[in-house]
Amino acid sequence: MKKIILLISVLIMTISCVEETAKKKYITRIHTEINIENIKHPEANVFLQRRGDNIDMNNIDTLSFEEGSNLTFNLQDSVPNYYRLIHHDFYLDLYLSPRDSLSIHFDNNEMMTSLKFKGERGKQQNRYLAAKRFFMNKYITDSLFMQEPAIFNKSLLKIRKEYMFALNEANLQEQDFRKIERRAIDYILAKLELIYPSNYEKLRGAPLLISKDYYDFVANYHSEDPILLGIPEYIDFYSSYLILKAFTLNENTTYSKEEIDVEINKTFKSEEFRKYFKNFLKL
């Protein structure tokens, strides 16, 4: 009996030690310092947001500038996640992991060209996110959608090459981040292809002559991998596609939730995906 009691006591102590070790190992600190030049509204608060399970950005803290236009914040988290800083004059997307210690510097007047990241951990991911935003500003313009189909397709290949080069150059150790961003690139390009005909018509004042099966390309991007429900570019692409299918392609002139509901059921086999998009599109 004494042996049994002793064994139970040792087991309880072992479990307690494992739990305490897990806490020390996984609930770790993220330290970030940001220096910003030319702040126009230093009195305005900065909102720190974290991406939730439904891709919404949720406020988790409100920060204010220290002397010299500096921001410093410490987080405790157990898993890597996407964050966003929002201020009157700027927003900055970040990817932060436990044990990151990151220093960021930029000029608010020329944010995208002056961004610099330093630190032992986390700089590669955030350099890529900065490049990703830079490419959006550089390439996703009216002139892109005014191009004729052959030139537009060449432009898409060039844009994909730029994104992939930046992702590969980052030499990322964080494989989950790389996997997510690799999939995100696909849906950035897919969205451009999806909205090309309507944007061409709007900008040129004449419809683009497309084949009857133009939108069949969507099948090449179809996947119901659960990881995709955490990628904003995937949600954006399929939300746009579902609305396009329900109205423009079916030539409906009025807003009908029932039509979108039908398209969601036709598009996705997974009940998880059907339920997600019905909630996301407020059906």
pLDDT of residue 29: 81
Q: What is the pLDDT of residue 7?
A: 38
DSSP track, the chain:
-HHHHHHHHHHHHHHHHHHHHHHHHHSEEEEEEEEEES-S-TTS-EEEEEE-TTS-EEEEEEE--BTTTEEEEEEEESS-EEEEEEETTEEEEEEE-TT-EEEEEEEGGGHHHH-EEEEEESHHHHHHHHHHHHHHHHHSSHHHHTS-HHHHHHHHHHHHHHHHHHHHHT--S-HHHHHHHHHHHHHHHHHHHHHHHHHHHHHHSS-----TTGGGGGGGG----GGGGG-HHHHHHHHHHHHHHHTTTTT--S--HHHHHHHHHHH---HHHHHHHHHHTT-
Global confidence as pTM: 0.84
Q: What is the pLDDT of residue 251?
A: 65
Residue-by-residue pLDDT tens, the chain, 283 positions: 444 433 334 333 333 444 444 444 455 788 999 999 998 888 899 999 999 887 889 999 999 988 788 988 888 888 899 999 999 888 999 999 888 889 999 998 898 889 999 987 889 999 999 999 999 999 999 999 999 999 999 999 999 999 999 999 887 777 889 999 999 999 999 999 999 999 999 999 999 999 989 999 999 999 999 999 999 999 999 999 999 988 876 666 666 788 899 999 999 999 999 999 999 988 6
pLDDT at 25: 47
